[in-house]
Amino acid sequence: MNVLVIVLFLSAFLLTRVTILRTAVIVLLLQSLAVAAACVVLGLETSQFHMYLAALLTIIIKAGYIPAALFKIVGRLRREREQNPILSPNYTSLTAALAIVLAYGLIDQALPGVVTRNALAAAIALLLIGLLIIMVRRQAVMQIVGLITMENGIYLLGLSVVKGLPLVIEFGVFLDILVAAVVLVILTYRLKISFLSTDTTQLRKLKG
Amino acid sequence: MQVLMYLIVIIPLVGALLSYVQKNRNGLRIVNFVASVAMTGLALVLVYQTARHGALRYGMFYIDELSGLLLTVVSILTLTATLYSFSYMEREVVQGHLAAARLPGYYAMLNILSFTMVAVLLVENLGLMWVAVEATTLASALLVAFQLNRTAIEAAWKYVMVCTVGICFALLGTILLYYTQVNVAGSAIEALSWLQLAALSERLDPVMVKLAFIFILIGYGTKAGLAPMHTWLPDAHSQAPSPVSGLLSGSLLSCAMYVIIRNLIIVQNTLGQAFGQYLLIGFGLLSVAIAIPFILLQHDIKRLLAYSSVEHMGLITLGLGIGTPLAVYGALLHIFNHAVAKSALFYLAGDITQEYHTKHILRIRGLITAMPLTGTLFMLFIIAAVGVPPFGIFTSKMTITWASFAAGQPVLGFFILLLLSGIFAGMIFYCAKMVLGAPAQPVRKAQSGALSQIAFLLSFLIIAGAGIYLPTWFNGMLLRAAALVSGGGY
CB-closest option in A131, A165, A205 to B150: A205
CB B459 within 8 A of CB B80: yes
How far apart (Å, rounded) are the C-alpha atoms in residues B322 and B26?
A: 50
Chain B residue with minimal CA distance to A150? B168
Is B151 in contact with A190 (Cβ distance < 8 A)? no
Q: What is the pLDDT along chain A (208 residues), one digit of tens a residue?
A: 788 999 999 999 999 998 899 999 999 999 999 999 988 988 888 788 888 888 999 999 999 999 999 999 999 888 888 888 888 888 999 999 999 999 999 888 877 877 778 888 999 999 999 999 999 998 999 999 999 999 999 999 988 888 878 888 889 999 999 999 999 999 999 999 998 888 888 888 888 7
Measured CA distances, B88 to B240, B347, B458 (Å): 12, 9, 17
Is B145 in contact with A190 (Cβ distance < 8 A)? yes
Instruction: State the pLDDT at residue A113.
Output: 77
Instruction: Report the share of chain B in percent with pLDDT over 70.
Output: 97
A81-95 residue pLDDT tens: 888 888 888 899 999
User: How confident is the model over B150-166, as a mean pLDDT?
Assistant: 94
Per-residue pLDDT at B489 exceeds 70:
no
3-state secondary structure of B356: helix
Instruction: State the pLDDT at residue B459.
Output: 94
B395-421 residue pLDDT tens: 999 999 999 999 988 999 999 999 999
* Phi, psi at B62, each rounded to 5°: -150, 140
Instruction: Give the CA angle between residues B74, B80, B84 to the nearest 5°.
Output: 140
Amino acid letter, residue B174:
T
Instruction: State the pLDDT at residue B447.
Output: 64
What is the value of ipTM here, to two decimals?
Answer: 0.94
Cβ neighbours for B294, distance < 8 A, ≥ 6 positions apart: A208, B234, B303, B307
- Measured between beta carbons, the chain B residues lying within 8 angstroms of A197 are none
Is A206 in contact with B182 (Cβ distance < 8 A)? no
What average pLDDT does chain B have? 91
User: How confident is the model over B11-34, as a mean pLDDT?
Assistant: 92
Count of C-beta atoms within a 10 Å radius of residue A76: 12
Domain extents for chain A? 2-79+87-202
Alpha-carbon torsion, ordered B12, B16, B19, B21, to 10 deg = -140
CB-closest option in B127, B131, B165 to A131: B165
Kindly report the nearest CA distance between residue A71 and chain B, in angstroms.
Answer: 20
